[in-house]
Structure formats: C-alpha cells, structure tokens
Amino acid sequence: AAYEAGDHESFMHKEMLEQPAAAARALSGRLDERFGTAHLGGLNMDARETRAIRRVKILGCGSAYYVGQMGAALVEELARIPADAEAASEFRYRDPVIEADTLYVAVSQSGETIDTLLAVQEIRRKGGRVVGLVNVVGSAIARECDGGIYLHAGPEVAVASTKALTNMFLGFALLALQLGRVRDLSIADGRRLINGLTRIPAQIQEILDDEAAIAAVAEQLSEAESVFFVGRVRGFPVAREGAQKFKEISYRHAEAYQTSELKHGPLALISPAVPTVAIVPDDELTDRNVGALHEIAARRGPLVVITHEGVDLGEVDCVRIDVPRNERELDPVLLVVPLQLLAFHAAQRLGHDIDKPRNLAKSVTVE
Ligand code: G6P
C-alpha cells in the first residue's frame, strides 16, 4: 500500500506519532536479557575485533550529526571508549587521519546523503572500517559500509526527521551496549539498560499524549523572533536538535548553546523578547542547570523547561514540561520528543508547509 499521511495534517505529524511503534521495531529481537547485552548481527565483527577498538568516530549531517553526538556520549558512558561525532560534510576536507583501531560509524536516514557517502568512501579508501546506522535498506551508504545496523523506522517523508532520529539513538544505545559488554560493562548494568530500553516506546507515547499542552507552549514561542535552546553534556545535543527543528520549519531564529557557556556571551541577548528552552534532566548537573535558570529569569527571559517530575526548579517563573524518567544515559531520546512537538506546533501556528520547508530537501544527494 502507498505510504500516505492519511488523517494527519502532515507526514511529520504522522511520523512523530509512529515513534512508539518504530522504536519497538528498532529493539525487536536485538536485546539479550540473559546476558544483559545486544545482538547486532549486521556489524560483521567478532569479539576479538570488537575488543580491539580504541576509538569511535561518528559521522552524519543535520539531525543525524546531532544524534551522533548523543551516540558518542552513549559509547563513552557504556563502553568507556573515547568517541566523538563530526559533521560528515566537513570531514573529508581536512584530509583526516584514518586509524585501524578506530570504528567509524556513518549515520543516515536516507543512506543517500552525498556528504556522508563521500566521508565513508574517504575512510574506506584509507583502509578504515565503517559501520552504517541507516534506515533505507540497500541505500548507497548501506552498501558502501563494512557492516551496519538497520533502523527499521519505516518510510520517513517529512524533511524534519523524527522517528528515524529516535531509532538512530536506539541504534547507538544497542551498539554501545554490545561494545560495553565485551569490555567492562557489568551484566547488571547491561540488564539495567535493557530494562530502560524496553520502557522507551511506552514512555514516548506518554509524551505524545501531552501534545495539546505542548502545543499551547509552542504557540507562545512562535511569536518570538529568536529562541535559545540550552542544555549541558547529555542535554546539549538535545538542545542542538531542538533548535535545528525549530528553525527548519518555523523559520524563526533558534540558537543552541551549552547552558554553561551562557555567561560567557549570549546572556547579553536574554530579555523578555527572547525565550529560552532549557533541558534540565534529573542528573549530575541539575543544580547547576537550575542556577542558570535563575540567571535567565533575573534578566526577565521567558523560560520553557524540559525536565523530570520531582525536579525542584526553585521559585523560578517558567513553563514546565515533564518527561518520564528512564536510565540517565537514555534520557536524551525522551527529552527530544517535546522539542519535536514545539517545532511542529510553532510552524503550524505560523502556517508553514511543514513537510517541505523552504530551501531544504529531505536528502541532499549532490554536493
Ligand atoms: C537533510 C535534511 C535533514 C537531515 C539531513 C541528513 O539536510 O534536511 O533533516 O537530517 O539531510 O539526512 P540523512 O538522510 O543522511 O539522515
């Protein structure tokens, strides 16, 4: 049957709502409760090769790059392997040093993004090993890689990626779990994460069920000329993705910043006309994040706070959106969902073509 938006006003809306089912597919058959690990048969690496990895380098463009940053954090936290993400569009232009004990990971929904494809070719030409996190089966990037993890998100039509991004995060969680378990991650931690992963589809649904309340917040944000999105460590790529979505479809200026860096510059811009969306999960940095909220409020900057139930934000004047709690490492995949809804409803309020924003393409296949 043809893939159509059906009763939804747009593909983006349909695809956001498909996330619980898509997430369940990404996990299906890949979790091993008994050994507290993941099974990713398509990686084509044995235990010896897996243990030899000294570094992980992730490459992608746009939302895939930001989720790559979330993935790098997962790999460092769970497998304790140094990891980072880089924009694939920049990578090959700096004549990168390719190392045999680095695992390169290419992330792409379409599998056809030319910048990511050329990065893969550069790595392979220089003798590196690349695995793909790709949604479209048999796509160019999937074919060029040494192995891979298919995302099983199903077709995604809207330019603004939602369910594919969620499944990319889950793909990274599975990869990090598998890498971790052949190294030092304990079976207890492995089981703890598996338990967290299996709760994610229903927890995404809980957030989607709050759509009406989040839409009301989006309507307020849509009136601002400029919006800051701030977060720290795990929350920073979430803020980057939130700002990206917001600017892509609402055409409002949105800027992501590390909350910790606000005082080193952008605090000068905070005023009643410039709202901030702050990512404040219940984690090691909650108190510091709450401190920053007070600094923003003191400059009379309107605040929307994405947080967890029970987090004490003090007396700060803000609109609060709580997401369900999971294991801290997995928080980003839930924190990002309200940001999709904020961008979507701001754009809808402004009357934009949500699925085909001006000047953008779903996949950029020419340089
Ligand atoms: C384009 C789209 C973005 C997307 C990026 C990467 O720029 O507008 O939404 O994140 O390509 O696409 P890919 O298919 O490689 O994930």
Structure confidence at residue 2 (pLDDT): 65
144 CA → ligand 1 middle, Å: 18
Structure confidence at residue 1 (pLDDT): 54
Closest Cα to atom 2, ligand 1: which residue? 362
Structure confidence at residue 306 (pLDDT): 98
Write out residues with Cβ below 6 Å of ligand 1: 61-64, 108-110, 113, 116, 159-161, 360, 362-364
Beta pairing class for 276-280 and 303-308: parallel
Structure confidence at residue 359 (pLDDT): 85
Question: Rounded to a whole number, what is the distance in angstroms from the first to the last CA of the chain?
Answer: 33
Q: What is the mean pLDDT of residues 1-9?
A: 74
* Ligand 1 atom closest to the CA of 63, numbered from 1: 10
For 341-361, the pLDDT digits (tens) are 999 999 999 999 888 888 888
For 98-132, the pLDDT digits (tens) are 999 999 999 999 999 999 999 999 999 999 999 99
Helix (H) or strand (E) holding 143: helix 140-144
Question: What region does 37 belong to: left with phi over 0, alpha with psi -120 to 50, or beta?
Answer: beta
Confidence bin at 91 (pLDDT 50/70/90): very high
pTM above 0.90, yes or no: yes
163 CA → ligand 1 middle, Å: 13
CA dist 53 to 96, 158, 181, 190, 311, Å? 18, 36, 13, 19, 38
Q: What is the mean pLDDT of residues 204-208?
A: 98
Structure confidence at residue 362 (pLDDT): 86
Please tell me the number of Cα atoms within 13 Å of 314 on its side-chain side: 13
- This complex has an ipTM of 0.94
Confidence bin at 35 (pLDDT 50/70/90): very high
Structure confidence at residue 93 (pLDDT): 92
Distance CA 183, CA 3 (A): 42
* More confident: 47 or 38: 38
Confidence bin at 7 (pLDDT 50/70/90): confident
Structure confidence at residue 165 (pLDDT): 98
* Ligand 1 atom closest to the CA of 360, numbered from 1: 8
85 CA → ligand 1 middle, Å: 15
Q: Is the pLDDT assigned to residue 3 strictly greater than 80?
A: no
78 CA → ligand 1 middle, Å: 27
Structure confidence at residue 26 (pLDDT): 98
Structure confidence at residue 276 (pLDDT): 98
Best of 161, 168, 245, 356 to mutate for ligand 1, by most ligand atoms within 8 A of CB?
Answer: 161
364 CA → ligand 1 middle, Å: 7
